[in-house]
């Protein structure tokens, strides 16, 4: 096999997307992965935390030219300081290690959550809209903070090319995560007066976009979403489930009580997660990056639904 001259390191290589990215990149490139978990991969895996100061040493020793940073805390672990340390400080360590080791190209998976869940979000959010996050929603806040750090490093160290990807909800045939947990409930919950549209991106599209970005050396920020958006009530219809529509004031009260009694880790602050979902515009992805997602949001959701029903 003839490899390219790229030497690629993937953080979070043992994760759901990380495994697929490593396999796709390793077909024509020299690849090494890092993760805190052991895993069987088509490349060498080094068990290392993204906060480890030895990351720079590893990058130098392996003569890494490209880094794909996928490692992140996807949910609320119950330890906010730990989550912040991994997401924000860990990402800062990765970027600074890349700069110190002379890495040429960095791909970072951010999130559409970096835009934040706000009442005045535009109907379709583009990459030129501000990244506001939500201080009350740690995942969203962390993504905003990481992107602010990346912007500072771009100004200070332009020799490190940056590709930033902001996915909507990533779904594949066998995806299981915090979002799919909502879809597995017997009754779907909607908020009165809120459309709550979801945009989905097929996991295979995400993998192909990352690979294309590495191979082409693309730079800039891009929203990752299939065409179209599906309101929560339409998702309930596609699942054949009833949709209970409640006033936001009642849901807020129920969350307050549930959190106080220890029945749920989610509080009133998470209400905006359903009420003001950022709907990602994918025009820049298609016209500038040059990739059109193979599946629309509706097709991705049906793919997940049909596979889930077979289980």
Whether the CB-CB separation of 35 and 13 falls below 8 Å is answered with: yes
Is pLDDT above 90 for 124? yes
| Residue 20: half-sphere exposure toward Cβ, Cα within 13 Å | 14
Q: How many CA atoms lie within 13 A of 35 on its CB side?
A: 25
- pTM of the complete model: 0.94
- Predicted confidence band of residue 113 (pLDDT cuts 50, 70, 90): very high
C-alpha dist (Å) from residue 200 to 37, 40, 210, 267, 273: 27, 28, 16, 25, 15
Residues in the chain: 311
Report d(CA 34, CA 39) in Å as an integer.
10
Two structure tokens written together for 60: 């130098």
Q: Give the model's pLDDT for residue 209.
A: 98
> How many angstroms separate the Cα of 152 from the Cα of each of 92, 201, 236?
11, 28, 42
1 has a pLDDT exceeding 60 = no
- 286-305, pLDDT tens digit by residue? 999 999 999 999 999 999 99
Bridge partner residues of 31 (DSSP): 8
Tell me the per-residue pLDDT of 139-198, one tens digit each, with 9 for 90 and over.
999 999 999 999 999 999 999 999 999 999 999 998 888 788 889 989 988 888 888 899
What pairs with residue 35 in β-bridges?
Answer: 47
pLDDT at 81: 93
pLDDT of residue 274 exceeding 90:
no
Which residue(s) pair with 9 in the sheet?
Answer: 32, 67
Mean pLDDT value across the chain: 93
Q: Is the pLDDT of residue 83 over 70?
A: yes
pLDDT of residue 266: 66
Checking if the pLDDT of 262 tops 80, the result is: no
Give the separation between CA 221 and CA 110, rounded to whole angstroms.
9
Q: pLDDT at position 269, please?
A: 67
């Amino acid at each position: 096999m003839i490899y390219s001259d790229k030497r690629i390191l993937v953080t979070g290589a043992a994760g759901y997307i990380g495994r697929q990215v490593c396999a796709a990149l390793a077909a024509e490139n020299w690849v090494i992965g890092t993760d805190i978990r052991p895993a069987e991969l088509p490349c060498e895996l080094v068990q290392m935390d993204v906060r480890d100061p030895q990351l720079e040493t590893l990058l130098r020793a392996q003569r890494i030219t490209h880094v794909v940073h996928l490692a992140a805390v996807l949910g609320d672990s119950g330890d906010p300081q730990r989550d912040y340390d991994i997401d924000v400080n860990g990402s800062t360590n990765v970027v600074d290690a890349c700069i110190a080791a002379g890495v040429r190209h960095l791909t970072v998976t951010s999130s559409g959550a970096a835009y934040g869940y706000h009442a005045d979000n535009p109907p379709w959010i583009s990459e030129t809209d501000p990244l506001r996050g939500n201080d009350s929603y740690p995942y969203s806040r962390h993504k905003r903070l990481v992107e602010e750090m990346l912007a500072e490093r771009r100004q200070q160290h332009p020799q490190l090319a940056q590709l930033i990807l902001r996915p909507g909800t990533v779904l594949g045939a066998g995806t299981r995560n915090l979002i799919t947990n909502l879809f597995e409930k017997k009754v779907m919950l909607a908020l009165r007066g809120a459309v709550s549209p979801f945009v989905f991106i097929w996991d295979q599209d995400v993998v192909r976009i990352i690979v294309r970005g590495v191979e082409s050396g693309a730079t800039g920020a891009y929203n990752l979403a299939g065409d179209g958006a599906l309101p929560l009530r339409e998702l309930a219809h596609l699942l054949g489930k009833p949709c209970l529509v409640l006033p936001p004031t009642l849901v807020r009260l129920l969350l307050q009580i549930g959190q106080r009694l220890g029945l749920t880790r989610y509080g009133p602050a998470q209400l905006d997660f359903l009420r003001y979902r950022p709907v990602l515009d994918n025009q820049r992805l298609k016209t500038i990056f040059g990739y059109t997602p193979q599946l629309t949001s509706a097709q991705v959701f049906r793919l997940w639904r049909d596979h889930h029903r077979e289980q």
